[in-house]
């Protein structure tokens, strides 16, 4: 995928936005070719230097930017030259999808293996043991706790798990 195509992809734009937030998005959305200093980026994008540095550090933490340091011989000041490495975005997104898949599988198993009770007034949900401890009454409002059928939630999670497995070409073990 070409660099320009990568940045025009709405999924990638959302991923970058989730990483750096609205203040950092101008930095993430307009990476220059080659090396650049944080001061140059701040001036070019008319942003606060701290916002630029925060965005660059987040990109660095996610392997989407790197830097090299230069020390000024006379003053001893360090200058950081930043390079954007967005070729790793597809790999990072795939890792995120695997993390989501694992989390969904764990949550689906939890939902399937527990019985829940709901306060329809407060919308608070309790596991069976908690509901029993409260005498099947809501600790907030005193209303009776009703048995909750979470089959639709479990079914929805199963569908999303199947979609993710298809997208990732994951074969279910033992299926």
Q: What are 42-88's pLDDT values in tens digits? A: 999 999 999 999 999 999 999 999 999 999 888 889 999 999 988 88
The answer to whether residue 145 scores a pLDDT higher than 90 is yes
Q: Which residues of 67-105 are buried (b: 16+ CB within 10 A; e: fewer)?
A: beeeeeeeeeeeebebebebeebeebeeeeeeeebeeee
What are the domain boundaries of the chain? 3-84, 91-168
Per-residue pLDDT tens over the stretch 6-24: 667 788 888 899 999 999 9
Burial of 138 (0-12, 13-18, 19+ CB in 10 A): buried
**Contact present, 1 and 90 (Cβ < 8 Å):** yes
Q: Phi and psi (nearest 5°) for 67?
A: -145, 160
The pLDDT value recorded for residue 104 is 95
- CATH number for the region 3-84 comes to 1.10.10.10
Q: Which residues of 12-51 are buried (b: 16+ CB within 10 A; e: fewer)?
A: beebbeebbeeebbbbbeebeeeebbbeebbeeeebeeeb
Mean pLDDT is highest, among 3-17, 24-38, 116-130, for 116-130
Is 49 in contact with 38 (CB distance < 8 Å)?
A: yes
| Averaged pLDDT score across all residues of the chain | 89
For residue 2, pLDDT over 60 is answered with no
Q: What is the pLDDT of residue 175?
A: 44
* Band of pLDDT at residue 172, cut at 50, 70 and 90: low
Per-residue pLDDT band for 99 (boundaries 50, 70, 90) equals very high
């Amino acid at each position: 995928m070409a660099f320009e195509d990568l940045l025009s992809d709405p999924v990638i734009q959302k991923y970058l936005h989730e990483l750096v937030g609205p203040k950092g998005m101008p930095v993430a959305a307009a990476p220059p070719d080659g090396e650049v200093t944080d001061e140059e980026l701040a001036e070019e994008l008319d942003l606060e230097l701290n916002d630029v540095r925060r965005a660059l550090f987040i990109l660095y933490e996610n392997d989407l930017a790197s830097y090299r340091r230069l020390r000024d011989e006379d003053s001893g000041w360090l200058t950081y030259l930043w390079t954007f490495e967005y070729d790793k975005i597809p790999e990072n997104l795939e890792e995120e999808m695997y993390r989501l898949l694992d989390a969904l599988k764990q949550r689906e198993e939890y939902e399937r293996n527990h019985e829940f009770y709901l306060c329809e007034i407060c919308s608070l949900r309790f596991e069976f043991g908690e509901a029993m401890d409260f005498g099947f009454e809501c600790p907030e409002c005193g209303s009776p706790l009703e048995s909750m059928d979470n089959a639709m939630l479990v079914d929805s999670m199963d569908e999303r798990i199947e979609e993710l497995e298809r997208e990732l070409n994951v074969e279910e073990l033992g299926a």
